[in-house]
């Protein structure tokens, strides 16, 4: 069964151009999240939507840089919402009773919990990139986390094999490993999952790897308590 690291989709701009929308590379995600601070500090939904449009315009720097100068004329609000969903997991449902600002802020905070510098440093040790700028221009957050997950798994298996040769069992796990799994769960569920045992953690790449999850035979409903 084919697996996916992230969700992607096609978004049609107002000039008829169709862009392939994927999670932003770290270089542009940093810029978007800086601009997203304006959304958090917006005074009401009208200002929040203006600032969300600014955030969405940044995505065109990656998707189609030749149209970035015209971004304001190429995106209405439905297009803005689509771009931000694919680019950074910022979800806004125009039919929701919740305010636009609250929806955006609640769904757009998952990356802020990560120690990005530490994560990048660990991935950089693979020796593929000449500097961190090249790394940030090459990798999106889902790509970095997937790469780091495999790297840690391979490192752990190697250590487990060496330890087993000396009669030591490393399968008991550790607090650091649990923290890593919990952090991945929060990220891949856009902040919805509490920890790695939460069913909401089984989405996207995690669900594909497990062979089941939300959207793969499991659905859920949020019940207000």
Residues 172-220: pLDDT tens digits?
555 656 666 666 666 666 556 656 555 555 565 555 555 545 554 545 4
Kindly state whether residues 137 and 54 are assigned to the same domain.
no
Kindly state whether residues 99 and 121 are assigned to the same domain.
no
Kindly state whether residues 26 and 64 are assigned to the same domain.
yes
pLDDT at residue 207, as a whole number = 55
40-54, 151-165, 174-188: which is most confident:
40-54
What is the DSSP code string of the chain?
----SS--EEEE-TTS-EEEE-PPBHHHHHHHHHHHHHHHT-SSHHHHHHHHHHHHHHHHHHH-GGGGGGHHHH--HHHHHHHHHHHH-----TT-SS-HHHHHHHHS-GGGGS-HHHHHHHHHTT---SSHHHHHHH-BHHHHHHHHHHHHHHHHHHHHHHHHHTT---TT--HHHHHHHHHHHHHHTTT--SSTTSGGG--HHHHHHHT-EETBEE-------
Is pLDDT larger for residue 102 or for residue 196? 102
Asked, for residue 199, whether it belongs to a domain, the answer is yes
Kindly state whether residues 19 and 106 are assigned to the same domain.
yes
pLDDT at residue 212, as a whole number = 47
Kindly state whether residues 32 and 53 are assigned to the same domain.
yes
- Mean pLDDT over the full length of the chain: 82
pLDDT at residue 64, as a whole number = 95
pLDDT at residue 162 above 70? yes
For 34, the domain range is 9-111
**Of the candidates 56, 89, 111, which is a domain's last residue?**
111
Kindly state whether residues 105 and 136 are assigned to the same domain.
no
Instruction: Please state the rounded mean pLDDT for residues 129-149.
Output: 93
């Amino acid at each position: 069964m084919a697996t996916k690291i992230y969700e992607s989709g096609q978004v049609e701009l107002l000039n008829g151009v169709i862009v392939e929308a994927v999670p932003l590379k770290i270089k542009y995600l940093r810029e978007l999240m800086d601009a997203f601070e304006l959304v958090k500090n917006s005074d009401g939904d009208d200002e929040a939507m203006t600032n969300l449009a600014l955030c969405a315009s940044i995505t065109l720097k990656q998707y189609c840089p030749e149209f970035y100068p015209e971004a304001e004329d190429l995106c209405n609000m439905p297009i803005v919402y689509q771009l931000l969903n694919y680019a950074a997991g910022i979800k806004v449902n125009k039919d929701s009773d919740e305010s636009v600002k609250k929806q955006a802020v609640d769904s757009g905070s998952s990356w802020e919990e990560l120690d990005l510098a530490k994560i990048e440093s660990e991935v950089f040790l693979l020796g593929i990139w000449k500097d961190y700028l090249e790394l940030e221009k090459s990798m999106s957050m889902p790509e970095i986390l997937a790469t780091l997950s495999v790297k840690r798994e391979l490192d752990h298996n190697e250590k487990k094999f060496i330890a087993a040769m000396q009669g030591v069992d490393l399968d008991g796990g550790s607090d650091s490993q649990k923290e890593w799994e919990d952090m991945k769960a929060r990220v891949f569920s856009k902040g919805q999952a509490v920890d790695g045992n939460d069913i909401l953690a089984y989405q996207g790449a995690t669900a594909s790897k497990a062979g089941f999850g939300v959207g793969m035979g499991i659905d859920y409903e949020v019940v207000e308590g």
